[in-house]
Chain A
Amino acid sequence: MITKILLGLFSGVAFGFVIQRVGASDPNRMTRAHLMIDADIPRFMLAAVALSAAGLFGLQAVGVGRTMVLPTSLVATGLAAAIFGIGWGLCGYCPGTTWAAVGEGRLDAVFALAGGLAGAMVFAHLHERLIPLLYDPTNLGQLTVTGLVGNHALALAVVLVGLGAAIYLIGRIWHHDTPSE
């Protein structure tokens, strides 16, 4: 148990440090990304996913690690993503970055974190009502690209090509202002 806590703490410190250094915990930078005037944060996120997917493929090849695929609920996952996007676009923070930004000393992040606690508390209260209403009826199960194409290596290749194309297009389409202010 204590090992798990220390591993969590260590992983969190490393994660928080990296996102601070790339500027993902800066809500101004995140907003610039959403306004398509800073291509670096979305490219950073998508490249991190691509590299992690390749790394996880390697881990699984040697039988290390644990995976857990969340189900796709057509309505709940989509509706939640829409609400999430509105909140993210409004404040420039996502759940993880609020903690790093509070650590940095950003006062507006303290309010985002408090709002997050309130939001989680309200959802937890309504869980029994909302999950059967929104999540369960269109729950398609733990779908993966691997399941669709029938082969893990091929699925990885498909996802990497998709992410690579998205990274390329973001680099082409987003304006390139001077970053960071």
Chain B
Amino acid sequence: MEQQNSNKPRYWNWLPAAFALAGVIVFVFATYGPPASSSGFVSALKGAWSSLAPDYIASKAHYRMIPGPGSWLFAFILGMAIGGFIGGRTFKKPVTDIPPLWRRRFGDDATRRYTATFLGGFLILFASRLAGGCTLGLFISGSTQLALSGLYFGVVIFAFAMLTARLVYGNATKEVS
């Protein structure tokens, strides 16, 4: 069951990692409020467009309801990139530009993978802004507050992601470990 190669860096076990993440989440509730990531995308856009098209930004409800980049929301997602950077630099496992499962199914064509992640990114953010939050801002934050919206969103995203992964990857997974 264990990896035969003991040099291979191991990801953290899920349960202690859940304690660590819950510690961060409770800290955020105490010092800010419900954590969120997808709102930070809107903050970034608001910052980028405010100087180029100030009238447009001022006229759109979605930009009026989210603060610009000088906010907790944008600082948080920027921090996530820094946290990912620190984590990646101090972790032996090299990162991939094309995940092995994808490569097994669709080959080495980087353009195809990048097109798929662009499309996937488009869908998850479009949907998050419609629902009012994402995995973090709606499912995790909402369920932590025992909100039905968060639990409902969580059940449906897992169901559709599992279904989509089956359709995209088919049975190519059987021989992949």
Contact = CB atoms under 8 A, between A and B. Distances in A.
Given A83-B127, A104-B84, A124-B63, A65 B30 contact: yes
B18 A51 contact: yes
A15 B143 CA distance: 18
Contact of B12 (A13, A21, A35): A21
A120 B135 CA distance: 15
Contacts of B173: 32, 35, 37
Contacts of B135: 45, 88, 94-96
Nearest to A49: B143
Interface residues of A, number: 130
Contacts of B95: 26, 101, 104-106
Interface in A71-120: 71-73, 76-96, 98-109, 111-120
A153 to B, nearest CB: 11
Contact of B8 (A40, A49, A146, A180): A180
Contact of A81 (B61, B62, B156): B156
Given A11-B28, A95-B37, A55 B22 contact: yes
A77 B22 CA distance: 24
Contacts, number: 502
Contact of B161 (A80, A85, A118, A159): A85
Contacts of A108: 97-99, 113-114, 117
A94 B29 contact: no
A172 interface: no
B130 interface: yes
Interface residues of B, number: 127
Contacts of A177: 177
Contacts of A42: 158
Contacts of B147: 69-70, 72, 142-145
Interface in B140-155: 140, 142-153, 155
Interface in B115-171: 115-136, 138-140, 142-153, 155-169
Contacts of B131: 70, 73, 76-77, 80-81, 84
Nearest to A71: B149
Nearest to B10: A180
B106 to A, nearest CB: 12
B88 A81 contact: no
A151 to B, nearest CB: 11
B136 A95 contact: yes
Given A103-B83, A104-B84, A104-B85, A87 B62 contact: no
A180 B100 CA distance: 11
Contact of B41 (A27, A58, A107, A117): A117
11 contacts: A18-B12, A28-B100, A35-B173, A52-B26, A53-B145, A84-B131, A88-B135, A94-B136, A99-B81, A122-B122, A180-B8
10 closest cross-chain pairs (CB), A and B: A12-B79, A16-B83, A85-B160, A91-B120, A89-B164, A115-B121, A87-B123, A103-B84, A20-B87, A100-B84
Given A21-B87, A48-B140, A88-B161, 5 more contacts: A48-B25, A85-B157, A95-B37, A144-B147, A148-B148
